[in-house]
């Protein structure tokens, strides 16, 4: 099953072997509801409780690759779901913090991620990020943002990347935003890549 996901990820444009290896190492069945049926064995989204979904593995791999994580990276994930993407990130980063606003999903993720000691699950408002744990080398958002979330950009380390679906419903694109500091120490952010059109549930405050 995982090997098929790697084939799909390569077809989607993923080239980083570390990302492909991290994807292959995760059993998707472990991070899906028991009634997921055929979807868990396909490169397709899987519905979750609370009207949420987990994205297809090839898209997750594409977004994770865009973070350009290196050794010692610290990552923030917004929208844990049942923890599949966090498990993939755990194979690439030293420390993964993941925020889920829906308490039942966070509880499930905490249990399912118990074998990943470098992943920390927090119940809270993902739009606020985790300023107490910042800065992060990468932030990935698994929900549609109406505009680039400046609160999250502010929690990036210089050179860090934010990957998020941005735009109006049905017209969102997955953008890669890089935070950089100039010679005077001024910090700014720029869109460095557009991974294309996507469909995500909205990022809900609270």
Model-wide pTM > 0.85 = yes
DSSP assignments along 157-187, one per residue: EEEEEEEEEESSTT--EEEEEEEEE-TTS-E
pLDDT-derived band at 2, boundaries 50, 70, 90 = low
pLDDT(64) > 90: yes
Question: In whole angstroms, what is the distance from residue 99 CA to residue 155 CA?
Answer: 14
Residues 175, 164 contacting (CB under 8 angstroms) = yes
How many Cβ atoms sit within 10 Å of the Cβ of residue 61? Answer: 28
Domain residue spans of the chain: 2-197
Is 55 catalytic? The answer is yes
For 129-162, the pLDDT digits (tens) are: 999 999 999 999 999 999 888 899 999 999 999 9
Residue, of 39 and 138, whose pLDDT is higher:
138
Select which of 55, 58, 73, 150 is catalytic. 55
Instruction: For residue 53, list its beta bridge partners.
Output: 47
Residues 44, 53 contacting (CB under 8 angstroms) = no
**CATH of the structural domain 2-197, one choice from 3.40.50.720, 3.40.720.10, 1.10.540.10, 3.40.50.150:** 3.40.50.150
Residue, of 118 and 204, whose pLDDT is higher:
118
Phi, psi of 63 (to 5 degrees): -70, -40
């Amino acid at each position: 099953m995982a090997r098929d996901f790697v084939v799909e990820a390569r077809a989607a444009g993923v080239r980083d072997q570390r990302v492909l290896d991290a994807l292959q190492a995760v059993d998707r069945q472990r991070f899906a509801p028991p009634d997921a049926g055929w979807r868990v064995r396909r490169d397709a989204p899987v519905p979750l409780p609370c009207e949420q979904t987990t994205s297809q593995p090839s898209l997750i791999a594409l977004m994770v690759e865009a973070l350009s994580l290196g050794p010692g990276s610290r990552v923030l994930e917004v929208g844990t779901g049942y923890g599949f993407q966090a498990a993939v990130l755990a194979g690439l980063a030293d420390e993964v913090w993941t925020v889920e606003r829906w308490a039942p999903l966070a509880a499930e993720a905490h249990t399912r991620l118990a074998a990943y000691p470098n992943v920390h699950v927090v119940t809270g408002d993902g739009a606020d990020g985790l300023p107490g744990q910042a800065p992060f080398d990468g932030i990935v958002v698994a929900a549609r943002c109406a505009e680039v979330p400046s609160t999250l950009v502010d929690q990036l380390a210089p050179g860090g990347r934010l990957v998020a679906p941005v735009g109006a419903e049905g017209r969102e694109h997955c953008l890669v935003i890089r935070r950089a500091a100039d010679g005077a120490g001024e910090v700014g952010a720029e869109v460095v890549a557009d991974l294309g059109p996507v469909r995500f549930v909205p990022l809900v405050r609270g």
